[in-house]
Structure 1
Amino acid sequence: MPGTITVGLDGTDHALAAAEWAAHEAARRGTALRLVHAWVWRTTDTVYVGDRAVEERWVRNMLHEAKARVAKVHPDLDVTTELLVDDPVPTLVDEASRAEMLVLGSRGYGTLTGYLVGSVSLQVLRRAAGPVVMVRGPRHTTVRESTDEMGEIVVGVQDAGEAAGPVLEFAFAAAAERGATLRAVRAWSIPSVLVWSPGSMWLADQAGGLEPLQKEILADALRPWRQKYPDVDVIEHVEIGAASEVLLSNSRRASLVVVGRRTHDTGLRRVGSVAHAVLHHAPAAVAVVPHP
């Protein structure tokens, strides 16, 4: 639904932190907030204390409590809740296609990579047609809540040209809404001779070298968005190194990190190595924006 930010709740503190972040974002944008929980009752062979009615009542209470919590901070915000009786992944993917953005909770970051982003969240990220924002757990959200307006918006710009459009549109709009500085980060490495064509060598020579060429590519990608959002202060950062490491090192003071996810990859849907690294290790909320 245009003009609506949707949050997928699962009863955890991480999801509640996502609801609080989304409420703050909806209040800033002047949009509605929708809190949903996808639920399917399944009987098992094990002894279960309670029944379908008990579990459904718990879910509805969870939605009600989440609504009351965000309404306490944002009393004028238009907040609705809905219990969706269906499997979580296809339900949340559908919600992402209809909302301005889908917001989910993330367990946090560390050295282990298996459990940090839940299996449902990863499947939704791989399939969503719209932006999905992953919000860190309570201890990260609380620290940044009072300084959210001051933190930079950081966007990774590895894909240039038209492919970068949706990602840069999201990042520039977020920076404009917050009055925040936008840091556009592009990483580069010395190309292999096997992929370095005479035409590429000529372009690099015309630009004065490899790094100036990368700066020119970044500047060209940003130019139309600078024109559309002239009030956004932009820092262009080009650095040699692995894309994920360069982006993470520039995200320490960010309030939001924006990365892209290609939708035309063949085979299994995937998030991408850079987005995957940022999702697991960036301390800020991370927006994953699909692009061609």
Structure 2
Amino acid sequence: MNRVITVGLDGSRESLDAAAWAAREAVRRGLTLQLLHATDGPRSRTGLPELDVSADRLTGALSRAVVGLSYAHPALELHARHITGPPVPALVEAATEAEELILGSRGFSGFAAFMVGSVALGVASRAERPVVLVRAGELPEDAHEPDAEEASSRTTPYRPVVLGLDLTQPSDDLLSYAFGAAASRNAPLEVVHAWTLPPLSTYIPAITVTADTTDLETDTRQALTATLQPWQRKFPDTPVTEHLVYGHAGHTLLKASLGASLVVIGRRLPGARLGRVAHSVIRHVACPAVVVPHV
């Protein structure tokens, strides 16, 4: 069976931009792309104009996306599929058969079907495969470094991949995805771990990071290095930078993502919902973000 990347398509601007991103991802990795449209309504004509016009518009959007992507990427193996059912469970089920599922999102202020807080958030919090959320307006050059004149370019090297790593949950699935994403782009990997003082410190007024915390910081840095070493041996051509930052993980990841091509974060299985850090990243980072479920 061919390895597949699946993208949810609803005809909106953000889902079309996500499909374009997914096509580039599929070409780079040599995978098949599947365009998937899930709807609650019947596929057959109902005789009700208000329903049939909407169905025709979505069918037309799916067909136009197939034609446009086939023209842009002649070597891409591309399939289109329509399924009936509520979008969230349908997309969660579709994700089980894919390498990853890509969805479009307008972010915090969006009001379309795939906005964060609706279908995209529901799928990202339930899927058992990686879910990539792509902002509306994402362009190919956004993933690349600017050229010598600081102009946008599609031919310059990729921007770094950023991994948010919790050292209490250093999953192999999460690390494998992040290193693989960086390697497929020939991009550096920046691993970010945010640390704070133990909870008892919240009861101590005006506490600051001093030499008293040196041992804790040193132990944390050593743990980060030890966690990454086996993966650096597996991916010797991928430059890795470790960022150990004192502060809250959400804010730290948002800063690290400003010049990134992709941000990778994890979600615990089974059954764990998206945490506060994941919500912050999904809502606010400007680059595509992927949620990798892991045990």
Report if aligned partners of 1:183, 1:236 keep a CA contact under 8 Å in 2.
yes
- Asked if 1:224 corresponds to 2:249, the answer is no
Q: 1:164 aligns with which of 155, 159, 171?
A: 171
2:18 aligns with: 18
2:200 aligns with: 193
- Asked if 1:35 corresponds to 2:35, the answer is yes
Report if aligned partners of 2:167, 2:224 keep a CA contact under 8 Å in 1.
no
- Asked if 1:144 corresponds to 2:150, the answer is no
In structure 2, do the counterparts of structure 1 residues 287 and 57 end up closer, same or farther at CA, with 3 Å as the change threshold?
A: same
1:90 aligns with: 89
Counterpart CA distance in 2 for 1:121 and 1:2 is 25
Counterpart CA distance in 2 for 1:61 and 1:263 is 38
Shift of 1:287: 0.5
Specify every segment of 5 or more residues in structure 2 that has no aligned partner in the other structure, as ranges: 43-47, 144-153, 203-211
Amino acid paired to 1:87:
P
Amino acid paired to 2:162:
V
Shift of 1:49: 3.5
* TM-score using structure 1 length: 0.85
In structure 2, do the counterparts of structure 1 residues 40 and 187 end up closer, same or farther at CA, with 3 Å as the change threshold?
A: same
Amino acid paired to 1:67:
V
Q: 1:278 aligns with which of 278, 281, 285?
A: 281
Report if aligned partners of 2:2, 2:32 keep a CA contact under 8 Å in 1.
no
In structure 2, do the counterparts of structure 1 residues 111 and 250 end up closer, same or farther at CA, with 3 Å as the change threshold?
A: farther
In structure 2, do the counterparts of structure 1 residues 246 and 170 end up closer, same or farther at CA, with 3 Å as the change threshold?
A: same
How many percent of aligned residue pairs carry the same amino acid? Answer: 41
Amino acid paired to 1:37:
H
What do the CA deviations read for 1:9-64 (whole angstroms, capped 9, x no partner)?
Answer: 1111000010000000000000000001001227xxxxx64344x44332221111
Report if aligned partners of 1:109, 1:283 keep a CA contact under 8 Å in 2.
no
- Asked if 1:177 corresponds to 2:180, the answer is no
1:60 aligns with: 59
Report if aligned partners of 1:262, 1:291 keep a CA contact under 8 Å in 2.
yes
Specify every segment of 5 or more residues in structure 1 that has no aligned partner in the other structure, as ranges: 43-47, 196-204
Report if aligned partners of 2:38, 2:85 keep a CA contact under 8 Å in 1.
yes
1:202 aligns with: none
Report if aligned partners of 2:38, 2:84 keep a CA contact under 8 Å in 1.
yes
1:211 aligns with: 217
Amino acid paired to 1:33:
L
Shift of 1:251: 0.8
Runs of 4+, deviation exceeding 4 Å: 109-112
Amino acid paired to 1:14:
E
